[in-house]
Structure 1
Amino acid sequence: MALDDDIRLLSGVALFESLADEHLRLLAFGAEKMSLRAGETLYIEGEPALCAYVVMSGRIEIYRERETEKIKLADAGPGTVLGELAVIAPTRRLSSAMAAVESRVMTIDRKSFRRILEEYPELPELIRRRLAREFQAMVERLDALSSKLGE
């Protein structure tokens, strides 16, 4: 995938929607790419989250492991970001992820992302607003679910 293709992919990721092409170019240029075989683990629940992953191709299965059982939570396809909070603050993986089929991912590390935030001081506020909107929407969904369960 050429740099322009990487930029186009990143521009469709909600976390990066506030970034201009010049910011996305810096992220894409510094990103590492990984190929995964079907069944290969990307990360494991509980380990330190040092980067976010953007699915470039294929499909990544998100799951939690309980005793000997894998409980599937979601599938992530191209353009999906996994572990986005890892680029903002130190955290641990809340789930595990593995390639359901042959897949390719791009890693965005915290250091690269922070460097862009430092160089472009208007960005943190834009990202904060987006995260606040998402959090509010999540609270509203939980309220709606709670009222349905209470009936």
Structure 2
Amino acid sequence: MSLARDMDLLRQVPLLSEFPDEQMRLLAFSAENVSYRDGEVLFIAGERADAGLVIASGSVALEGDGEERADLGTYGPGSLIGETALLVETRRPARAVAVGPTEVIRIRRALFKRMLQEFPDIARRLFEARAAHFRATAGALARVGTVLEQIEREHQAFREDRRRAGGIGDEGN
């Protein structure tokens, strides 16, 4: 792949979209391009994760661990797999398999962390974007919690009404 194509592709990734041109060029130049054949395993569940993978071409299927290999989704060009691995030491939560010929841009955590250390403006923007994302997630979860609490109150009232009506249906439901 060409450097310009890699840069354009990396710019599609929300986590990387704020990188200025010079830093994006450095990131694209320093990352590793890796090709996989159809059906080739990129990584397995439980494996130490030391890099994020941006899909350049083809697709990657994520499969749950276990006998049945539950399909967790298939991702195409511009998708970042392993975002958490760019930020902290972690393990792969799923198995990844190439669907057709697939190319990825592999960004090692060490490279990503070095970029953040050498360019604190990028780190600040990344932190602000992640914080906004977490605030939005927390807000959405709070709304879900409110709805669940309301359902629980209604369920308790229903059970109490049934108990008063003669104990019918008060078997812990």
Range that drifts further, 138-147 or 126-135: 138-147
**What is residue 51 of structure 1 aligned with on the other side?**
51
In structure 1, what is the Cα distance between the partners aligned to 2:84 and 2:12? 17
Would you identify which runs of 4 or more consecutive aligned residues in structure 1 move more than 6 Å?
Answer: 147-150
Q: Where does 1:90-109 land on structure 2 (aligned, <5 Å)?
A: 90-109=89-108
C-alpha deviation, 1:139, in angstroms: 3.4
**What is residue 77 of structure 1 aligned with on the other side?**
76
SS of the aligned residue for 1:17 comes to coil
Q: Where does 1:3-22 land on structure 2 (aligned, <5 Å)?
A: 3-22=3-22
Task: Decide whether aligned partners of structure 1 residues 10 and 140 sit closer, same or farther in structure 2, where only a CA change above 3 A counts.
Answer: same
Pairwise CA RMSD of aligned residues? 1.7
Amino acid of the residue matched to residue 110 of structure 1? R
**What is residue 136 of structure 1 aligned with on the other side?**
135
Of Structure 1 and Structure 2, the greater strand share is in 1
Q: TM-score, normalization: structure 1? A: 0.90
Task: Decide whether aligned partners of structure 1 residues 22 and 62 sit closer, same or farther in structure 2, where only a CA change above 3 A counts.
Answer: same
**What is residue 23 of structure 1 aligned with on the other side?**
23
In structure 2, what is the Cα distance between the partners aligned to 1:38 and 1:146? 43
Aligned length: 150
C-alpha deviation, 1:10, in angstroms: 0.6
SS of the aligned residue for 1:102 comes to strand
Identity across matched positions, percent: 36
Task: Decide whether aligned partners of structure 1 residues 37 and 147 sit closer, same or farther in structure 2, where only a CA change above 3 A counts.
Answer: farther
C-alpha deviation, 1:143, in angstroms: 4.7
Q: Any unmatched runs of 5+ in structure 2?
A: 152-173
C-alpha deviation, 1:45, in angstroms: 1.0
CA offset digits 1:4-49 (Å, max 9, x no partner): 1111111111111121111111111111111111111111111111
Q: Where does 1:31-70 land on structure 2 (aligned, <5 Å)?
A: 31-66=31-66, 68-70=67-69
Which structure's CA Rg is the greater one? 2
Q: Any unmatched runs of 5+ in structure 1?
A: none
In structure 2, what is the Cα distance between the partners aligned to 1:36 and 1:149? 45
Amino acid of the residue matched to residue 60 of structure 1? V
